[in-house]
Each structure stands twice: as C-alpha cells, then as structure tokens.
Amino acid sequence: MEKFVLNDGNAIPAVGFGVFLIPADDSTYRAVREALDAGYRHIDTAAAYFNEQEVGKAVKDSGIPREDVFITSKLWLQDYGHDAARKGLEISLRKLGTEYVNLYLLHQPYGDVAGAWSALEEAKAAGKIRSVGVSNMTPNLWNKWVPQFDTLPAVNQVECNPYFQQRPLRRIMAEKNVLLEAWGPLGQGNAKLLTDPVVLKIAEKYGKNAGQVILRFETQDGIVVLPKSTKKERIAGNLNIFDFTLTDAEMQALRALDTGKGSHDPDAPGVGDYLLSAFDVHAND
C-alpha cells in the first residue's frame, strides 16, 4: 500500500475504505471486515454515517493491531462550537472503541467552525487525534475559515473524480502542503465516467477495469481515494491498483476529462441550514 506524508508528518494510506450509506445492520461490520481481509488499512467513517460502532467492532475483531489501522471519523454540524466538539469527539471515540483516531475532520464548513477547530487542536495536543482536517471546503470556504485557525488542516476531503478534479482548490491547498482526499472518487457510480472511451482504452491496455484506472489516476496525481463497495470482489479490486503506472500522456488524457463541475455545491445558499436540520446524530446515543 502506498502512503502519503501529511503536513504534520503523519503518514496516511493512499486508499481508504469508505462506509458512507452502508447501514449499521451488520452490513458495515461485514464490509469493513472484508476490506481489512483484502488488505485495506485505512477506514473512513463519520458520526453522521451512524456506523462508527460497527467500524470499531470490525477493526477490533480483525485481530489487526490498532496501530496498523488508520481510522478517520468526522464531527457533525450539530456538535460545532468548542465545548460541543469536545463532547462529540468523546462520543465518536466511545463508539469506535479506541483511545484515539488517526484523522478527525470537521465534516461540513458551516456554523461555529472556528470554535470546533480549536477543540480539535486541543484534542490533538492531548493525543486523542493524530491529525486534524476539514471536509467540503471550496476555495471560498477555505479562505473564509482557514485563516482563523492556529494550525493548518492536514487534509480537505471533498468531492473529486476525473470529471471534477478540483484544480482551483488544489492550487490553494498545495501552497500549504494540504492533501486532498476524494469522496466519490469513481463519480459515485457515474455510468458515463465508467464507460468513458479514454478510460476504457487505458483499462484495456493494462488489463484493468475502469474503476481501477480511475483510482490509479487519482492516487498517482497525489490524491487519497475513498472508494466504497459492499461487494467482496469490488472491495478487493479497488485496492489492486499499484501494479501498474500510467504514462505522462495517459495522465494528461485523463486530466483533460475535467469539466470543473461536481454534484454537490457547498457554496450554495442554505446548504448549512439544510444539513443541520437533516437529522440528529445523537438520537440513539
């Protein structure tokens, strides 16, 4: 497994296993166990995914030493503000059954972001978080919030795939050596992307499927990818991307697919209020 070094010196596996929208009905537990058996050592969850407990149980039951598994979780808007963020983190740690998380993110960039960030910085100093980061920050939101932080985020987790490559955002982040993590790295199953002639031509050359080519393109371009699947074969296949290297010409051909448009616009009016009212992350605590 390839790794990237974050701006705080910690290393992060280039491929993580995402569990967004996998139900907490034993499905998350089974999927994470299969991912760990396949060789994943990076699991990405969140309070708002409602499956932290199954992730933690799967990691524990795998028998893999805790220090060998990189676990990410995220703080939901409901717990923003300094004191609320401290409590939100403690709940995540309890559900995950761990004394620390490797990476903890502010899941959405709205509300008392600065207050929540200060709590994360304190938790990092106390050893409860190894690295801290943000998520869904556009260039506008980055420039609004990050200058208020005492320390820089290690990552920004955003929508990213070959049709939406986040080039303006990446230029801003590169100035501070902040890593981009891609949610929806396969375009959330976008059939057009997965059958794009450019992608399929490269896939045929290397004997890979379209998803593997896309994930290799992204990791080779310096992006951490978080593919999700509940199918055993696909889980394993999404990790089998390090036995080939795309040429410069192939990288340029894939970069040329960028449309600059994604499916989610964090800058749209009312997004923060909508997300805050969407559900209660502590309803079942």
Q: Which residues contact 62 (CB under 8 A, 6 or more apart)?
A: 33, 36, 37, 69
29, 40, 49, 104: which is the annotated catalytic residue?
Answer: 49
Q: Which residues contact 278 (CB under 8 A, 6 or more apart)?
A: none
Catalytic residue list contains 49:
yes
Catalytic residues: 49
